Homo-oligomer: A and B are copies of this chain.
């Protein structure tokens, strides 16, 4: 898989790698999003799913498993705290914005590597 939404930045601006929203039933949510939009199921199990849109990933998560969050690929991610490597190969750290929203900062290199063919 090598889609637009995992490419490195071309504009000099950071990319939103994925947005994660809370749902109550993963299977029902996946069914609805796939029926409503032109998107692909990149991953799905009983606890979360990742939908691929033209420009970004949309993660559907159970609130007891993950907080809803925005996941940005930014080269300064490592400056906030040591990055943690995840099962999909991405490396990131979670912080909060001033309003308390969870924000994930991902290493752009790890995002590109994780989703190469």
Interface residues of A (CB under 8 A from B): 3-5, 9-16, 19, 21-25, 28-29, 32-33, 36-40, 52-56, 58, 70, 72, 74, 76, 97-99, 101, 103, 105
User: What's the Cα separation between A24 and B99 when bound, in Å?
Assistant: 6
How many Å from the CB of A3 to the closest CB on chain B? 7
What is the count of identical protomers in the complex?
Answer: 2
How many Å from the CB of A78 to the closest CB on chain B? 13
How many Å from the CB of A72 to the closest CB on chain B? 6
On whether the beta carbons of A11 and B3 are closer than 8 Å, the reply is yes
How many Å from the CB of A16 to the closest CB on chain B? 5
A5 and B55 in contact, given A22-B99, A32-B97, A97-B32 (Cβ under 8 angstroms):
yes
